Amino acid sequence: MLNPKAQSPMDLTIEDVLNSRIICYPFKMLDCCLYSEASAALILAPEEKVKELGIEKPIWITGVGAANTDCFIGNREDMGRLYSNINAAKVAYKMAGLDYNKIKQQVDLAELHDAFSGQEVISYEELGFVPFGEGGPWIENSFEKPGEGPWINGEVPCCPSGGLIGCGHAVGATGIMSTGEAALQLREDAGKHQVTIEKGRAIAHSIGGPGAAYAAIIVMTNEEGLKQP
Amino acid sequence: MSKQDFQSHEIRDIIKINYKYTMGGQSKFFIEVMNNKKLLGTKCTNSNCGKIWMPPRINCSECYSPTEWIEMKQTGTIEVSTIVWYTTSAFIKSVPYSIGFIKLDGADTALFQGIFSENLVPSKVKKGRRVKAVFSKNREGKMTDFFFVPEDEYERWIAKPEYEGGA
């Protein structure tokens, strides 16, 4: 684990995960986050204030999207999906001037809500990185292939911080943590888990509420990203 | 007495609380399960909507019209499921067991309920599998009074002394 602030740093193999205790089929213990207690904070300011104070390396929020699906899971059309993710992503991308169908080429990284490993995989699909059903193959086909997949040196590095499984899941604070992590990445201040910043844009994603009905997505941009189309 | 001399004497004891809670507008569902082994849903009275809610809703969550009680079939299809290996003390004796959302035949929404099987493997409880309700003989008017079993195991489950088939 490259993130010194992570609560559950572990050097794991696929076998370690498969051999860990089963919790709820098909999730093993190492597929699940550590339910934790922590706090997180962001400092937000309007454009004028940032300029007045002469803040160095500010990160701009250029897109915000939030959506709900049925809290009652039994009333959802497809119970294995979170349609709120799709709607929140489309709203946030549109506000930021990005294209849902080309989002993979338009961002440098994404900090996703991976309280359980499966959530990260469906998020790849719902946030538009890969088509429905292609999240798993996106991982499987990109092992040890730099420039491909969701890895730290991949197409779109996802959760380079370690995500909720690596960092611990302090419910209520994790969305702020993910947003802060993405901001540090865009400022190239992330440290050992720094990813390459070329486009100057990142996505922070969080879900919550009964049945994870609520989804929120923030698109962030550094000074360079603002100049890019 | 100085602070250094103070010793705290502690005794471990138990606090018991007796209390009641009501199932409110949904009480009829639990009474019918307990007394008549029936599964009741509700149907929206708005003719433009008519959505059938199972578990029952007293008002339609789609159009906010009042609903009326209807008797549901006791067979259905699994929409999603998992197999539980880690649970609270109340269910620890049943581990491993399956839980899932089951859409009863005719219903528009799915009911969250336990699915038991004599040979519980993931393929037994995957999406699309047919299940049927089995009732405990000793019912208290709770959700745990009934559960679902794969349709092909139904006859064997209701032959067990502690269980029986629905009405």
Pairing of strands B130-136, B146-150: antiparallel
pLDDT in tens, B78-121: 999 999 999 998 889 889 999 999 999 999 999 999 999 999 99
pLDDT in tens, B17-63: 999 999 999 999 999 999 999 999 999 999 999 999 999 999 999 99
A26 touches chain B (CB under 8 A): yes
**Across all residues in chain B, what is the average pLDDT?**
95
B83 touches chain A (CB under 8 A): yes
Contacts of B80 in chain A (CB under 8 A): 73, 79-80
Give the side-chain half-sphere CA count within 13 A for A9: 9
pLDDT category at B1 given cuts 50, 70, 90 is low
Beta carbons of B147 and B99 less than 8 angstroms apart? no
A33-227: CATH topology is: Peroxisomal Thiolase; Chain A, domain 1 (3.40.47)
How many C-beta atoms surround the C-beta of residue B124 within 10 A?
20
Closest chain A residue to the Cα of B51, Cα to Cα:
A75
Q: Between A and B, how many residue pairs show a Cβ–Cβ distance under 8 A?
A: 41
pLDDT (average), residues B117-144: 95
pLDDT in tens, A98-153: 999 999 999 999 999 999 999 999 999 999 999 999 999 999 999 888 899 999 99
DSSP track, A118-178: HHHHHHHHHTTSS-TT-HHHHHHTTTT-TTSTTSTTSSS-B-TT-HHHHH-B-TTTHHHHH
A35 touches chain B (CB under 8 A): no
**Interface pTM (ipTM) of the complex?**
0.84
pLDDT at residue A75, rounded to an integer: 93
pLDDT at residue A229, rounded to an integer: 66
B63 touches chain A (CB under 8 A): no
Task: Determine the Cα–Cα distance for residues A220 and A181; give it in Å rounded to an integer.
Answer: 11
The distance of B5 to chain A (nearest Cα, Å) reads 37
B interface test, pick of A68, A72, A77 with most B CB neighbours within 10 Å: A72
pLDDT < 70 positions in chain A:
229
pLDDT at residue A189, rounded to an integer: 95
